[in-house]
Structure 1
């Protein structure tokens, strides 16, 4: 029986490995780090952080898949009292509501937005400049991009509709995303997947069967020697803070003057930080030529507005710059179908968050993992029906 090799043990790689093993294939997975999980790994210690804010969207395709396998686990949603603690920076001041025009725009169906036009041009014609600008900046929460208004209108509008859905789609694994990836790892082990950690792969291994490369696009480009494996992504300063608890702190500070987002993650599940402490995570997109320090300065300005006395209350702090690690964004005239194809020929398949698969945030990794596994199983003779992503 042919072996299917998976390189990379993040969300995409684990999805592909489980899918292939469930069909009876022999699967080996290589992971460069000590533990699988990729960007879904949750840090050890008192502050349970990930690489940037993480949420699982209720209507996403992976929700049902995880639930059917008993992998979803306990999920936290936004407590009703926290829903009133959204704050929006508009004109340099914190406000309780966004512009009405932005809310009207969010109700437009995604198919009403053109692929070929940029979001700002289309949205301005729909609701005016103020609403268009606020909506574009609000979408920093899901795009991690310094100028969402420059992206394809259809791409941004689809995400705006879901990010503003009521009731909110976003849910959070209790204990952090690491709990979810741990359950996926256990499922893979139970199915007989051979997982080799601390095994960085710098060249394709000798193989007797298909290979699924479930790494970042940059790593895949180096591994496969294929310079065409490129796609637009975001560049974002990430900041994590542990603060002494203070009554009245907001749940979210969303910057509508420029893309930026702070979220008090312990509002959904206090287990992410010690008692009487709260964990605040933020992502502040930065343009090419700007530095991590620019993003930090942006974060501190939002903290000054929304979290009085935050400097004196800070017990722990961490900063990072994420470049090319925030998922694909589609420019005007392009859709997910134009991204690097999953099938690279010669039994090699790509999976990850910048390849040709639909979805919001981690859904791209999930859908590409399913598709890559389906094609690998087909090549190995384990199935006769490839997955049709156009139906997802």
Structure 2
């Protein structure tokens, strides 16, 4: 059987390893860190936290793929009584009504939004300047970008339609995404995949067959020595808090005055924090040149409005700035097809959330991983046929 090497043990790398093994290849996976998961890794130590909001969108191809293999495990949904406590911040005040313009725009098919026009201009022509700005800011939960209105209208509209949907697509894995990572790793090992952690490669093992590089784009750029491997991503400040439970805390606060999102994740899954505690996670995008302090200050102002007495209830706190780790964004005139290509030639393939594959959030990592393995095995003329489960990227 053909040898396949996967570099990177995040979501994309593990999917690539499973796809390769199921197709009949001998697979070796190398992960530089001591643990698997990448951005899907869940922190431990009393609070199960990911890097910012993490949810699966059930219409995505990865959810079907995981479900067929029994890898999703128990899931959690936000109870309706909790979802009704979503608050919005607009004109400096908190309210309960999301912008009606978001619902109106979400009815428009994604194909109706032009690729070569920015979202704000397109949306403003239909719902007005003020509403278009509020709708764009409300999508901070899915885009992690400081100026969502400046992005391609087609790119933003696809995400708007997925986020503003009833019933909601978003589904949470109980215990955090690490549960899925662990099940993926166990499934891969059961298929014969050899996994090495703490193994940082400095050159490609091209003598052992095709290689799938499933790392961040920055790491791939260094490993391949290819300066062309760049694409724009968001920069967002992450604030994680454990608070003593207080009756009346909102489920989430969406900032419509500027991109920002605060969510009480224990509203859906109480196992993420000890009994009597709420796990609250916030993400506030910042512009290039702005530091972490800007996002933290915005988060604290919104917490003051939405979570009464939160400062006196803090049991644990963590802040971070995520730069280049929040997925690709497309400017007007560009689409996913313009991102760094999966096939790099000479038996090297890219996978990850900033490469040329369609999808929303983690779906890009999944689709690129499936396509990378498909291309690798087609190129070698080996493997079992009929195993590929991703989208057809040529037709998407």
- Normalised by the length of structure 2, the TM-score is 0.97
Tell me the SS of whatever aligns to 2:59. coil
Distance 1:228 1:151 in 2: 21
Structure 1 residue 207, shift from structure 2 partner: 2.6
Q: Which residues of 2 match residues 337-352 of structure 1 at below 5 A? A: 337-352=337-352
Structure 1 residue 391, shift from structure 2 partner: 4.4
Tell me the SS of whatever aligns to 1:349. strand
Distance 1:339 1:213 in 2: 15
The structure 2 residue matched to 1:389, chosen from 375, 384, 393, is 393
CA contact (8 A) 1:221 1:228 kept: yes
Equivalence for 2:193? 193
Tell me the SS of whatever aligns to 2:319. strand
Answer yes or no: is 1:40 the counterpart of 2:44: no
CA contact (8 A) 1:101 1:128 kept: no
Equivalence for 1:17? 17
Equivalence for 1:145? 145
The superposition leaves residues 294-319 of structure 1 with CA deviations (integer Å, 9 ceiling, x where unpaired) of 00001101101100100000000000
Structure 1 residue 44, shift from structure 2 partner: 1.4
Tell me the SS of whatever aligns to 2:166. coil
Q: Tell me whether 181-190 or 125-134 shows the greater mean CA deviation.
A: 125-134
Equivalence for 2:124? 124
Q: Tell me whether 40-49 or 178-187 shows the greater mean CA deviation.
A: 40-49
CA contact (8 A) 1:102 1:127 kept: no
When residues 142 and 36 of structure 1 are mapped into structure 2, their CA distance, relative to the original with a 3 A threshold, is same
Equivalence for 1:110? 110
Equivalence for 1:251? 251
Distance 1:238 1:345 in 2: 37
Equivalence for 1:82? 82
Equivalence for 1:169? 169
Structure 1 residue 201, shift from structure 2 partner: 1.4
Structure 1 residue 106, shift from structure 2 partner: 2.0
Structure 1 residue 147, shift from structure 2 partner: 0.3
Distance 1:312 1:390 in 2: 54
Equivalence for 1:330? 330
Tell me the SS of whatever aligns to 2:165. coil
Tell me the SS of whatever aligns to 1:207. helix
Structure 1 residue 206, shift from structure 2 partner: 4.9
CA contact (8 A) 2:340 2:356 kept: yes
Structure 1 residue 347, shift from structure 2 partner: 0.3
CA contact (8 A) 1:252 1:264 kept: yes
Structure 1 residue 108, shift from structure 2 partner: 1.4
Tell me the SS of whatever aligns to 2:296. helix
Structure 1 residue 40, shift from structure 2 partner: 0.8
Equivalence for 1:363? 363
Tell me the SS of whatever aligns to 2:87. strand
Equivalence for 2:49? 49
| Aligned length, in residue pairs | 392
Distance 2:132 2:167 in 1: 23
CA contact (8 A) 2:242 2:316 kept: yes
Distance 2:255 2:191 in 1: 45
Which stretches in structure 1 are left out of the alignment for 5+ residues? none
CA contact (8 A) 2:237 2:319 kept: yes
Structure 1 residue 322, shift from structure 2 partner: 0.5
CA contact (8 A) 1:105 1:131 kept: no
CA contact (8 A) 2:17 2:193 kept: yes
CA contact (8 A) 1:101 1:130 kept: no
Tell me the SS of whatever aligns to 1:135. helix
Distance 1:155 1:69 in 2: 30
Q: Tell me whether 129-138 or 189-198 shows the greater mean CA deviation.
A: 129-138
Distance 1:130 1:84 in 2: 25
Distance 2:124 2:203 in 1: 48
Structure 1 residue 203, shift from structure 2 partner: 1.8
User: RMSD over aligned Cα, in angstroms?
Assistant: 1.2
CA contact (8 A) 2:352 2:364 kept: yes
Distance 1:235 1:196 in 2: 31
CA contact (8 A) 2:2 2:24 kept: no
CA contact (8 A) 2:260 2:283 kept: yes
